[in-house]
Structure formats: structure tokens, C-alpha cells
Amino acid sequence: MKCWSQIQTLLGDQWMLMIILGSSIAVLSFVMDHVVLFLHNCRMKLFNSTPKGLSYLSWISLPVLLVTFASAVVQLISPHAIGSGFAEIRCILRGTTLHGYLDFRTLAAKVAGLVAVLGAGMPLGKEGPFVHIACILSQLYTTSCCLKKSSVECRSRSLDLLAGAAAVGVGACFASPVGGVLLSIEATAANFAIRNYWRGFLGAASGTLLYQLLVVWSSSRQSIEAIYATEFSDDVPYRPLELILFGFIGMLCGLLGALFVYILRVFIQKMKTCTMREYLLRAPLLYPVFVSLIITTLQYPVFMSRLTAGHLDNDEHFAHLFSNFSWAKGNLTAQEASVVHHWESPIKSMTVFFVFLYISSILASTLPVPSGMFIPLFKTGAAFGRIAGETFNMWFHRKFKIAPNPGGYAVVGAAAFSGAVTHTVSTCVIVVEITGQLRYVLPIIVAAMISNIVARRLHASLYDMLTSVKGLEHPPDVASPTETNPAVRMTVKDFMESPTEFVWRGIGFRELSNVLESSPNREVLPVVDDPENRSLLGTVKRMELEKLMANCSMPVDDQVNFQWFPIESIRIQLLVNDSAAAVHQLFQLAKVNFAFVTNQSQLVGFVGENELEKIIEEIQENPIRQ
Amino acid sequence: MKCWSQIQTLLGDQWMLMIILGSSIAVLSFVMDHVVLFLHNCRMKLFNSTPKGLSYLSWISLPVLLVTFASAVVQLISPHAIGSGFAEIRCILRGTTLHGYLDFRTLAAKVAGLVAVLGAGMPLGKEGPFVHIACILSQLYTTSCCLKKSSVECRSRSLDLLAGAAAVGVGACFASPVGGVLLSIEATAANFAIRNYWRGFLGAASGTLLYQLLVVWSSSRQSIEAIYATEFSDDVPYRPLELILFGFIGMLCGLLGALFVYILRVFIQKMKTCTMREYLLRAPLLYPVFVSLIITTLQYPVFMSRLTAGHLDNDEHFAHLFSNFSWAKGNLTAQEASVVHHWESPIKSMTVFFVFLYISSILASTLPVPSGMFIPLFKTGAAFGRIAGETFNMWFHRKFKIAPNPGGYAVVGAAAFSGAVTHTVSTCVIVVEITGQLRYVLPIIVAAMISNIVARRLHASLYDMLTSVKGLEHPPDVASPTETNPAVRMTVKDFMESPTEFVWRGIGFRELSNVLESSPNREVLPVVDDPENRSLLGTVKRMELEKLMANCSMPVDDQVNFQWFPIESIRIQLLVNDSAAAVHQLFQLAKVNFAFVTNQSQLVGFVGENELEKIIEEIQENPIRQ
């Protein structure tokens, strides 16, 4: 018994938990990769072994079946498993409570659905879902370890662990521990607790380590390699002046990224209001069948093979996109030729491939199945970068006798485009870790910075868009305090509710009932010493007062005795000159949702969370006002 | 006039500021590198051109002169420039106000002193000082931009920018933008504001970019390279089983790192109490002369050249340590031979070099000059890693026919040792960015994690040690809230000062004077409604009350009229059941240094920052108590 409790203490240790979490995610990720590859091979075998007349049928059958299966599983077991779950995790980390997102049913549905969708060759990824899966696992683990403990402790602890778990998800999925930690920092609330840093690092590192070891042990490789390793040469990978071209690509990726989010938003909103909605609700599997049919048809090898490359798997796509030579050059080596013969022509194939990815990623992400967006975004960006690289290569090769390496441009495009869509710069680090080479780190950072700046000016990020479209709520972020920020100039006295109702010592029953009637929505009422001074003493719950009124049979002119119920202390008070931004921060940090405003200890007003959020959203929309 | 104000607004923009800051630090770093190299070359020329009999004199003269100059400059202009300044910046970021650390005099002294010390070939680095320099620049810049604005805005804004500036310092110094950002996250307060993330990234990236471009333009290179670029081969850099060896190196580095900090602490404390202190205070340049004499003598090429390599500069040291082959192997190429002939024998030279670095880094860091520790720590760790690598190479080559690459072990050792001394894991990323290769990223992370775990169990970090030895204060960190943490179990009622003095409405002059006398240290007194109820109304400044007592000629039995001075509102109140950890967090976040405790709105006690810190330190020292 004692031994068991010792084991429990050890397992309850947060470091231990991160290592276990990292390892389980790594095993899961590894197994999933193999199942997905197996499904892909099945698909190809089935296609190759059927006679020509039936080849289209055999090509579409398995993917459509798998997507339908995924959709059915998710709808039957847990609809919370739909989508990447990253937007939801962000909300949870920012303090919203969402029910059902972190339970075992969702986990099961997510894993089963994800395997099926990826096996079907849909242009979707596993990163977002893995962040969600890691968070569910950490939650399940915490709950099972803290059964005996109080729920408050559990909650604060599990929120802490979730931030680490997000890092583990990315780390074990892309073998990118540093990028995972950075992404989890960027994605969490406005303030990142440093203690989660070390924890996330530990989890992500152990996850990456085990995943990479599993890959090495299961293959004939002798050494650990990056997921989509590139082979750029060390001498002169790019000339300093090419940085201008990289910056240009960053700008274009910023535009394309903002457009991507915009189209996706319009698409989702149209879906919600269109007339077909009725039919789709009645036959929920119709839409998945329809979409997967379109995408699979576009990948149909007989017509599109050398344009959209549906017969290649994910790893092959990236190997080709990042390949270290221009496809347009002469004298290909045998290895190089084996890459190029999959594509019709460098520019044309890539352009079709890019357009196909761009549209089908949008289409696929509206499927009601578990789905991640990172891999398709990477791939779309890489395709765009490759187009630009091949173009530059042709121009400059002829004119200036220098040959930019299109593979490098593909890597830069991948980072810039995914960064623009998600409004993160951690993508730089993830791309570097995925490709295993630092050669292009500066161009990547330059392009991602520029694409971020452009995209941020044009549209909300993918996550923010999904959060608002899905109707999830989290406290809005307030920009940093500067004199140009109206949230700083606007002070409490501009938006507080004033005068506010209050009760006082010696209040009569009649007056009390008036107060209660005139403030029907207030759960908590302030108590002051007397109506003249209005010095704030504390608060009293409305419930208590109502109970008193109901039970008491005193004459209405009598005074209420305040010893009948507790006056509660007030944690946070606001001053009239506090800025909106400061109040917002205080609310977030102290986790309160209302506060009274005092001026020289005299009660003058009330600020509630909802009013505050409205004000801040207003300010953000019309920053010139006021 | 209008144009000027527009320019001012643009320059005052924080993004612009970060780019300007990054660029100026990059230029400064680049110029400093060249001056240091020039001084090194002067030293070598002087040594080579003097006749044999005088060679020792010519060898020691310039370094001793330079160190003495640095020491004199610092003592004359600004003693705040002594040391790395990193510990001080950490304190400032955590909310302490330190005067004189961020002004122009310190900047001038720091730059001049740093150039001289590095030019003298002392085993010191420039990273820490550059963080300090970047912070001073950002502060000066902010002050000049916000002359017209209120000081509160300025302060919150400049604190925000300091966190970004720290990233810029590291980024521009090592061309390591990601590592810089991570280090600034790890080094700042317990909560990192995410808005600084993007800012730090921008500054560090623009700094790195300009620095690298300057390097390329000023040299014959065609392309941007890492600072100390390695050339590990892509095929089989290490076998998975070698991870155990890397872990072992991590463990040893953890031990050595903790020992390093311990020795340094004892040394500093002995220096403070020893009998020589009197002489040293009277002749403040004696100690620098003495220490630089010892270090320079140990580097004297005639005796020690092939052991401590004093004739090589920093870049050459790293190039040799990270070189991609075993020094013990036969058939050296011409390039390889040119490395090996500088050293007597792989193991012996390296051991002497390691011991020399280990001791001289400790010695040099006690010099009263601007000094960074990162580069010497990297170098010491790399030397240790190389020793281990060469040893393993010899053993395994004979027995198992596999040959670990000692260069890789040197890289891993550098990360693990510097991580152990500073208790950071960001060193991993910095090492990767400095060497420009991701080949060894997993071993580096594994070793750094293990060395961190070991070192954290044994001793405080270098920065914490320096902070406490220097008598700087910053709020202690409280570990995360778990049921095993006594800071959570201990509540306000266990450590509050109770009962506490207060004044009330209707207090008489006599009683007021009693209250003032019995609470001589309290700057602010609580005001309650009456002595019975003790409902907290607000606070009043002691100063106001004393002024009143002094000016007023009322009879002592009269009541004080509270309309004569303002009762101030109270922002934060504590409840008796709040945990120590929660209170600590609240103090940090709301930036207050005391609070009153109420129970059902009745004043019951007082908690001051100092008491709280004492309690938390006590808890941290005796976590079993209570």
C-alpha cells in the first residue's frame, strides 16, 4: 500500500508526467504514421491492380470510404473531435471553460478519425489534432492522479500542464522540440508562466527523442535525421542580395495567407446560411462524401498524376519540393531524374499543384473530421516558394549567371506562408527543425517576419477567425500600453456604470427591496457605510438579501441587521483614472469578472467583464474614436 | 514642425525602435569585434617582433595595460559597468528599481572597458555586457522619445522594451535570434508578456541580419555563415546508442557546472572578508594587475603555447575545438594538420586547456571590469566535451570499430556546461545557431536537460548566486501551485502582522498620536469606520497625518476631521485564507508592495513585501516545515 502511494507520488510528479506524456505521444505519432502509410499503400495497390476501366472507381472508393468513416465516427462518438482543436485549446488556456473537449470520447474519436482522414490522402495534417490529443492525455492523466485532491488545485495544475502538453504535441509530431515550445508560448494567454517553459521543453524533448529513436530502429537508417531532411550544400547556399527576393516572397506569402483566411471565413459563413444547409443537416455524411470525391478526383493519377501528384505520399511531396536542384536544369543525375519525372514541367506542374493545394486545403478543412492545417499550409507555401525559385532561377541564370536554389525558396515559402496564415513566427523554427538544416535560417526569418507584418495588417489569424466563427469566446487581447493606444487613453470613468446601486448599514427593508428591484442583473451588491459618504465596506450576495427578504416578517420600515449575513471582502478595486487596458489586464490576472470603482474610497461605479470586453472590442475596431 | 512630429511618432513606434535598436547593436558588435581582433594582432606582432630576452615582458605588457585601463575607466566613469550586468537586468525586469544601471555613463564605461578587456585576451565574453548595452540603449532611446509623456507610461513601456532589448543583445552578439528570444524569456520575470515575444524576435532578427551582412561585406565570403560554423557530415553523425554517452557528459557537466558556481561564490565571499581587502581598497588597480598577470603568464606562448593556446584568438579556439575529426587519428590532411600542430597532444593539451579555462574564467570574472561569462563557459564546456570525445573515440575505435566524432562531443559539452552554470536550456538553441548545424540538436538537448537537472539539484544558478552575493533583491520565485508545495498550504493568517494599527473616523488627536507612535515604520495607515466594526474604508498617508498633527492647534481631545485630507482607495485586499503563493503572485502582478487583510470586510492584518519574501524564502529553505 505504501509502495503504491510512493509510485503514485512519483507518477504525479510533473516532470515525470511530461516525460510520460511525451513518450506516449511519440508512440502514438509513430504508430499513426505507419497506419497512414499502410493505408496509402493499400490505396496505391488497389489502384494498380484493377483493370483500366474500373481504375477511377478503385481510386476514389477507399478515400471516400475512409473520409465517410471518419465523419461518422466523429459524429457518433464526439463532435468535439472535429477540426484541429487548436483554437479550442487556445481558449481553454486563456481561461474559458469548454466542456467535453478534454475527455476520453473525444480522444478516441480524434485518433480514429485522424488516421482515416490522413490515410485517405486528404490535404490535412496531424499537428493541430496532436496538440489536442496531447492536451486530452495530460488532462486524463492529471485527473486520474488527483482524484483525492481538491478540484481547485487540480484545475490550476492541469491548466499549467496543458501549456506544456501543447509543446509536446508539436514536438513529437514534427520532431521539433524548440519550435513546439515556441508555438506553445505564442499560443497561450497574454502572459506565459515561465515555469511551463522548462516543463514544455522536457516533454517535447523526450517526445522527440523517442519518436526519432522509433523511426531509426524501425528502419534501416543508422542515424537520427530530420523529418523532411534537406541537403543544401554548405558553400554559398544564397547570396546576400537574394535576401531581397526572399523578402519579396515573404510579402506575397503574407498577401496569399490573408486571402486564404478570408476565403475560408467567407466559405464557412456561406455554408452556415446557404439553402443546402437543411439537406446537409438531414444527411450529415453527404457533404464529406461530396468533398472527398472532388479532392480525390482532382488527384486522379490518370489525368492529373504529373500535376497534383496524388500517387505520392506526404514525405515524397516534401522531398520533391525541397529538392536541392532546379528541375529545369539539364544533365540530371539518376536520382534527380527520378524526382523530376513525377512532374510535368517545373513551373506548370507547380502552379497547378499550388492552386490545387490552396483550394483543396480550404475545402478539406471544412470537412467535419479531425484535421490539422499546418502540413497543408507548409506544402502550399513550399509549392509557391518553388514556383518563385524556379522562376528566379531561370531569369537570373540567363542574365547574371547566378542560380538561386529553388529548394531553398521552397523552404522559405513554407515558413512564410504558414506564418502568415497563423500569425506566428515560431513556424520559422519548426521549418528549420523539420528540414534539419540551418542554412536558410536568416531568409526564413526575414520572409516570415515580412509575411507576418503584411498578413497582420490585412486579416485576423486563422485561429482568431476560427475562434470567432465557432462562437468560442476568450478575453480579447489588448495591445501594449503606448500613448497611441486608445485603450490606454480611455479610463474607467469613461465606461463605468455610474451611479451604481448599493446597500448600506442601516438600510430599511423598503429601501432594500427597491434596490433589489432596480438592479435585477447584479449578483453581488456593494455595501457602504452610509448613503452620504458611500465608503465601500464590502459586498453582499444578492441571494442572501433575497433569502432575507423572503423569510423575514419584520415591518418594512425596520432596519436590516447586517450581522445576519456576512459582508464579503473585496479583492480588487478600480480607481476612476485606471486605463481600460490596465483594468483588462487586472481582470485577466486576478481572474475576477467585475469590480467596483472608488474615488478616494467613495463608491462611484461598477465595471463588469462584459462591458469591459465590449469597450475593448470597440476600441480595437475604431481606434481613432475618442 | 508637423513633419518633425510625424518623424517622432514613427521613431517612437515600438517596432521601429526594435529595428533601430537591433541595427545599432549589430553595428556596435561588429565594430567591437574588429577592434578586439586588431588589439589581438597588435599583441601578437609586438610579441613576435621583440628579441627573445624581452619576450615575456612584451607578452604581458599590453594585456596588463589594457585590463588596468578597463578597470580604471570603469571605476572613474561608472562602477555600475562592472560585471556582465545580466543579473542586474534580471532584477530590473522583475520589478526592482536600480539607479544608475541604465544611463549613458554606464554605457560609455561598459563599451570602453569591454573592448579593452577582450582585446587583452582575458577569458571573458561579450554576451552579458551586450544584453546590458542593448538595455541601456533602449532606455536612452525611450527616454528621449517620451520626454513629453507621463512617467508612468514611460516606465511601463520601457520595462516592456527591456525584455525585447535583452533578446536583441544576445541575437546581435551571437547571430542567434531564436536563442536570444528564448534566453530573454527564460531570464525575465515569472510571467512573460507575449507581446514582447514578437518584439524581441523582430529586434533580434534585424540585429542578426545586419551583423551578418556586415561580416559578409567586410570579408571575402560570398555567403552568410554561422559565427563558429561547424562542418559535420550529414551521414551518420552519431549512432543512437551514443545518446547514452551524451547523457553521461551532460551529467558530468552538471556536476562541474554546480562546482563552478560554488567555487566562484566561495571565492567572492572570501575576497570580501579577507585581510588583503584593506590594501585592495586603497590601491584599486592592484588586483586587476595581479589577476591579469597570472592569466597572461599562464598563456605565455614560450612555455604554454601548445597547452593553453594563448596565441590563438577566440574564433580559432572554437574552430579547433569543434573541428570535425579526431586529433589522434593518423593520415591528417594538410588542413587538419594545421589545426593539430597548435596543440601538444589531444588529451593532454585539452586537459590542461580545460583546467586553465575553468580556473581562469572564475578568476577573470572577479575582475572589476565589464565581463561576460557565456563565451568562456562555452569554451570550457567544449574543451571538456572534446576530452570526453577523444577518449571515447580511442576506446570505441579499438574495441567496436565505431568512431564517435570528438567535434560533436565538444558542441554538446559546450551546451551542457553553459546550461548547467546558468540553469537555462536556451543554451541549446544558442549553440545550434552559433555552429550553424542541426546535426547534433538531439544530443545537445538531451545533455543540456540532464546537466540542468543535476545542476539544479546541487546549487543555485550563476545569476541567482551573483544576485544574492551582490545584495541585489528581486522577488523570489514561487514554484507552481501543487499540493506538495508548502507555499500553497501556508495561508495569510499564518504570517500576517496582526493586529495592525489603524485610524478611524472620529479618532481623537490623542489617540491618533498614539497610533502614529506605535507604528513608526508604516508609511500608510488603514482607515476604518469605527474601532468596533473595523470595516476597511481606505488608506491615508502617514505624512498627511503628521502634517496635520504638527500644524493643528486643536485641543487634544477633539476629533480629527477626515475631510481635511483624502482617504485613498485600496486596490488590492487579501483574505485570511489566501495562500502565500497566491499573495506573492498578486503582489508581483499588481506591482504593489503591501496589502491589508480583511475577513468579511473587517480589517484583521497587514502583509508587507518584505515579510512575504522572508516567509517564502523560509518555505523554500525548509519545505518540510509546516
- Distance between alpha carbon B357 and the CA centroid of its chain, in Å? 20
CB atoms within 10 A of CB A6: 10
Examine the pLDDT at A415 and tell me if it is beyond 80.
yes
- Are A189 and A253 part of one and the same domain? no
Measured CA to CA in angstroms, residue B500 lies from B302, B458, B515 at distances of 72, 41, 10
CA distance B86 to B188: 11
Whether residues B438 and A226 touch (CB distance < 8 A) is answered with yes
For the stretch A519-533, pLDDT in tens is 887 888 888 877 877
Distance from CA of A569 to the nearest CA of B (A): 4
Residues in B closer than 8 angstroms to A220, CB to CB, are none
CA distance A499 to A431: 56
The reply to whether A460 falls in a domain is yes
Q: What cell does A532 get?
A: 452620504
Least confident range from A57-61, A263-267, B196-200: namely B196-200
- Are B254 and B202 part of one and the same domain? no
The reply to whether B3 falls in a domain is no
Q: What is the mean pLDDT of residues B190-198?
A: 73
Interface of A with B in 279-308 (CB under 8 A): none
State residue B479's pLDDT score: 44
Give the length of chain B: 626
Distance from CA of A177 to the nearest CA of B (A): 9
Rounded to the nearest integer, the mean pLDDT of chain B is 81
For the stretch B435-458, pLDDT in tens is 888 888 889 999 999 999 899 889
The reply to whether A271 falls in a domain is yes
**Phi first, then psi: what are they for B453, rounded to 5°?**
-60, -45
- Are B370 and B462 part of one and the same domain? yes
Whether residues A212 and B185 touch (CB distance < 8 A) is answered with no
CA distance B437 to A246: 21
What is residue A412's three-state secondary structure? helix
A229 touches A435 (CB < 8 A) = yes
Residue with cell 480525390: A296
Q: What b/e readout covers A341-352, taking b as 16+ CB neighbours within 10 angstroms?
A: eebbebeebbbb
User: Do β-strands B573-575 and A602-608 pair in parallel, antiparallel, or remain unpaired?
Assistant: unpaired
Rounded to the nearest integer, the mean pLDDT of chain A is 81
- Are B380 and B444 part of one and the same domain? yes
CA distance B262 to B258: 6
Nearest CA in chain B to A529: B529
Measured CA to CA in angstroms, residue A545 lies from A29, A498, A510, A560 at distances of 56, 22, 12, 10
Distance from CA of A464 to the nearest CA of B (A): 16
Residues in A closer than 8 angstroms to B160, CB to CB, are 480-481
Of the residues B146, B412, B445, B577, the best mutation for testing chain A's interface (the one with the most A CB atoms within 10 Å of its CB) is B445
Examine the pLDDT at A150 and tell me if it is beyond 50.
no
Residues in A closer than 8 angstroms to B600, CB to CB, are 538, 566-569
Per the structure, how many domains does chain A have?
3
Strand partners, B315: none
Whether residues B483 and A198 touch (CB distance < 8 A) is answered with no
Q: What b/e readout covers B204-214, taking b as 16+ CB neighbours within 10 angstroms?
A: bbbbbbbbbbb
Give the count of alpha carbons within 13 A of A555, CB side only: 2
Examine the pLDDT at A201 and tell me if it is beyond 60.
yes
Whether residues B538 and A535 touch (CB distance < 8 A) is answered with yes
Whether residues A243 and B209 touch (CB distance < 8 A) is answered with yes
- Are A211 and A265 part of one and the same domain? no
- Are A457 and A500 part of one and the same domain? no
CB atoms within 10 A of CB A20: 17
Nearest CA in chain A to B15: A453
Which of A185, A50, A282, A342 is CA-nearest to residue B167? A185
Distance from CA of B213 to the nearest CA of A (A): 7
Q: Largest Cα–Cα distance in chain B?
A: 103
Asked which of B189, B219, B249 is the last residue of a domain, the reply is B219
CATH code for the domain of A171:
1.10.3080.10
Contact A191/B at CB under 8 A:
yes
Q: Nearest by CB to B569, from A160, A192, A599: name it.
A: A599
What is residue A598's three-state secondary structure? strand
A103 touches A133 (CB < 8 A) = no
State residue B483's pLDDT score: 44
Examine the pLDDT at B624 and tell me if it is beyond 50.
no
State residue B9's pLDDT score: 62
- Are B412 and B303 part of one and the same domain? yes
State residue A508's pLDDT score: 81
Q: Nearest by CB to B193, from A186, A191, A429: name it.
A: A191
B402 touches B340 (CB < 8 A) = no
Nearest CA in chain A to B443: A209
Domain range for B312 is: 240-470
The reply to whether A514 falls in a domain is no
Q: Nearest by CB to A572, from B208, B224, B571: name it.
A: B571
Whether residues A445 and B231 touch (CB distance < 8 A) is answered with no
Distance from CA of A157 to the nearest CA of B (A): 7
A542 touches A516 (CB < 8 A) = yes
Helices (H), A99-150: 104-119, 127-145
- Are A166 and A254 part of one and the same domain? no
Proportion of chain A above pLDDT 70, given as a percent: 86
- Under the banding of pLDDT at 50, 70 and 90, the label for residue A111 is very high
Interface of B with A in 89-148 (CB under 8 A): 146
Residues in B closer than 8 angstroms to A229, CB to CB, are 234
State residue B150's pLDDT score: 47
Q: Pick the residue with more confidence: B263 or B282?
A: B263
Distance from CA of B299 to the nearest CA of A (A): 34
Strands (E) in A536-593, as ranges, are 536-541, 573-575
State residue A157's pLDDT score: 63
CA distance B295 to B313: 15
For the stretch B319-370, pLDDT in tens is 888 888 888 877 788 888 888 888 877 788 889 889 999 999 999 988 889 9
The reply to whether B478 falls in a domain is no
State residue A272's pLDDT score: 80
Q: Nearest by CB to A442, from B157, B185, B208: name it.
A: B208
B257 touches B421 (CB < 8 A) = yes
Examine the pLDDT at A145 and tell me if it is beyond 70.
no
Nearest CA in chain B to A423: B198
What is residue A491's three-state secondary structure? strand
Least confident range from A102-106, A202-206, A207-211, B527-531: namely B527-531
- Under the banding of pLDDT at 50, 70 and 90, the label for residue A589 is low
- Distance between alpha carbon B235 and the CA centroid of its chain, in Å? 38
The residue type found at B332 is L
Contact B530/A at CB under 8 A:
no
State residue B556's pLDDT score: 60
The reply to whether A231 falls in a domain is no
Contact B10/A at CB under 8 A:
no
**Phi first, then psi: what are they for B600, rounded to 5°?**
45, 50
CATH code for the domain of A597:
3.10.580.10
Residues in B closer than 8 angstroms to A490, CB to CB, are none
Residues in B closer than 8 angstroms to A536, CB to CB, are 537
Proportion of chain A above pLDDT 90, given as a percent: 18
- Are B387 and B280 part of one and the same domain? yes
- Are B247 and B358 part of one and the same domain? yes
CA distance B156 to A585: 13
Whether residues A569 and B590 touch (CB distance < 8 A) is answered with no
Contact B562/A at CB under 8 A:
no
A439 touches A411 (CB < 8 A) = no
Distance from CA of A224 to the nearest CA of B (A): 7
Q: Is A624 exposed, middle or buried (0-12, 13-18, 19+ CB in 10 A)?
A: exposed
State residue A70's pLDDT score: 93
Give the length of chain A: 626
For the stretch A170-179, pLDDT in tens is 888 888 888 8
Residues in B closer than 8 angstroms to A575, CB to CB, are 569, 571
The reply to whether B604 falls in a domain is yes
Of the residues B23, B185, B438, the best mutation for testing chain A's interface (the one with the most A CB atoms within 10 Å of its CB) is B438
Least confident range from A44-53, A260-269, A573-582, B59-68: namely A573-582
What is the torsion angle, in degrees rounded to the nearest 10, for the CA atoms of residue B330, residue B335, residue B341 and residue B345?
A: -40
Helices (H), A274-313: 277-282, 286-298, 301-308
The reply to whether A2 falls in a domain is no
Least confident range from A545-549, B76-80, B201-205: namely A545-549
- Are A375 and A449 part of one and the same domain? yes
State residue B70's pLDDT score: 93
Helices (H), B188-313: 195-218, 242-273, 277-282, 286-298, 301-308
Examine the pLDDT at A615 and tell me if it is beyond 90.
no
Element (H, E) at B603: strand B602-608
Q: Pick the residue with more confidence: B200 or A397?
A: B200
Strand partners, B504: B528
Q: Nearest by CB to A569, from B201, B222, B600: name it.
A: B600
Of the residues B537, B572, B588, the best mutation for testing chain A's interface (the one with the most A CB atoms within 10 Å of its CB) is B537
- Under the banding of pLDDT at 50, 70 and 90, the label for residue B95 is low
Q: What b/e readout covers A139-150, taking b as 16+ CB neighbours within 10 angstroms?
A: bebbeebbeeee
Element (H, E) at B606: strand B602-608
Element (H, E) at A32: helix A14-49
Contact A192/B at CB under 8 A:
yes
Q: What is the mean pLDDT of residues A162-168?
A: 83
- Are A33 and A163 part of one and the same domain? yes
- Distance between alpha carbon A349 and the CA centroid of its chain, in Å? 31
Q: Nearest by CB to B194, from A185, A201, A237: name it.
A: A185
Q: Largest Cα–Cα distance in chain A?
A: 104
